[in-house]
Amino acid sequence: MMKRSTLKSMLLSALFLFSIGNVTADNERLKPFVLASKGAGTVAEKSEQAKAALSAGGFSVVGDYTPYPDANILIVTDDDLKKNAAASEQGGFGAVQRVSITKSNNEVQVSYTNPVYMANVYRMKGDLSSVAARLSAALGKVEEFGSEQGMTASQARKYHYMLGMEYFDEPSVLAEYASYEEAVQSVDVKLTANKNGVTKVYRVDIPGKKETVFGVAMKGATEADQYMDDRFIMKEIDFHDVKSTAHLPYEILVSGNKVYALYARFRIAINFPDLSMMGKNSFMNIMKTPEAIRSVLQKTVQK
């Protein structure tokens, strides 16, 4: 029979190793995006290749969005993403990953959102490391990018850009309906109608939960509407050689009988955490964007 002192020693050793593992994991620096590949080709060719690879890897492509020339975005989900979304508070925001195919400097870049980073900034139950591994196997992995220093998991879970700006759990309430069923049907109809320059790109229903996430394209009809326009916003903030096109599209979440959107001071900052507050290519250049997005989304989905 094992001596009590020996058993105690083994348990303490196990706890020590477990804590070291957690420290190591939390010290890992996470970044918003993963560059899968870059090289010769066309956006159309690379998009079809990515679709085939994603399908073979067990992902479903639920949306396809071209926000401007030489850029295409595939929105994907799978059972693991939807199950994690169902287990997480407002988890619908993390029910998809986005894959971008962008031509830049005479080469085509294939990139995707980093599932582990997104799981943490959206405070999800699971860290989606298995999804990250499957995306890497399907598309490749050259490097993570989007932030010079990156963030630890614990930093990502409590992230906000700066004092006084919104956290993940402070989304905008866009509308309220009598029931989830009425809300999701009404939002779907309104987005399909392409009102106010806001158009549905995809819809994913979260299984076993009254929650649905929609992806939306936003296009300003006039110069006065430019601050809600996807192309204008990205022209101002996505200026590095490796493109963060997979920032798009924006999400609207129906959870219960309410309709939400992450406020842009959070939603933009999580993908561009190094963006300076002032100067060229800064938040100052899109200062009107957060309220412009909130306003147009609210106007589009309100009861």
Instruction: Tell me the per-residue pLDDT of 79-130, one tens digit each, with 9 for 90 and over.
Output: 999 999 999 999 999 999 999 999 999 999 999 999 999 999 999 999 999 9
Strand-by-strand arrangement of the 60-65 sheet: 60-65, 71-77, 97-104, 107-113, 33-39, 143-145
Q: How far apart are CA 193 and CA 296, in angstroms?
A: 14
Of 241, 264, 99, nearest to 165 by C-alpha is: 264
ω into residue 67 within 30 of 0, thus cis?
Answer: no
- CATH fold for the domain made of 29-301: TATA-Binding Protein (3.30.310)
What is the pTM for the complete model shown? 0.90
Mean pLDDT check: name the lowest of 52-66, 114-128, 259-273, 278-292. 278-292
Q: How confident is the model at residue 10 (pLDDT cuts 50, 70, 90)?
A: very low
Helix, coil or strand: residue 67: coil
> How many C-beta neighbours within 10 Å does residue 9 have?
11
What single-letter amino acid sits at 143? Answer: E
DSSP state of 98: E
pLDDT > 70 fraction of the chain, expressed in percent and rounded: 91
Q: How confident is the model at residue 53 (pLDDT cuts 50, 70, 90)?
A: very high
Token reading at 122: 């959206």
Task: Count how many Cα atoms sit within 13 Å of the Cα of residue 300 in the half-sphere of its side chain.
Answer: 30
* Rg (the chain; Cα; Å): 20
- Contact (CB, 8 A) for 107 and 36: no
Of 257, 245, 204, nearest to 93 by C-alpha is: 204
Token reading at 130: 């298995």
pLDDT tens by residue, 216-256 = 999 998 888 999 999 999 999 999 999 999 999 999 999 99
């830049």: which residue's tokens?
104
Q: How confident is the model at residue 26 (pLDDT cuts 50, 70, 90)?
A: low
Beta-sheet pairing, 107-113 with 97-104 = antiparallel
């490749």: which residue's tokens?
140
């989606």: which residue's tokens?
128
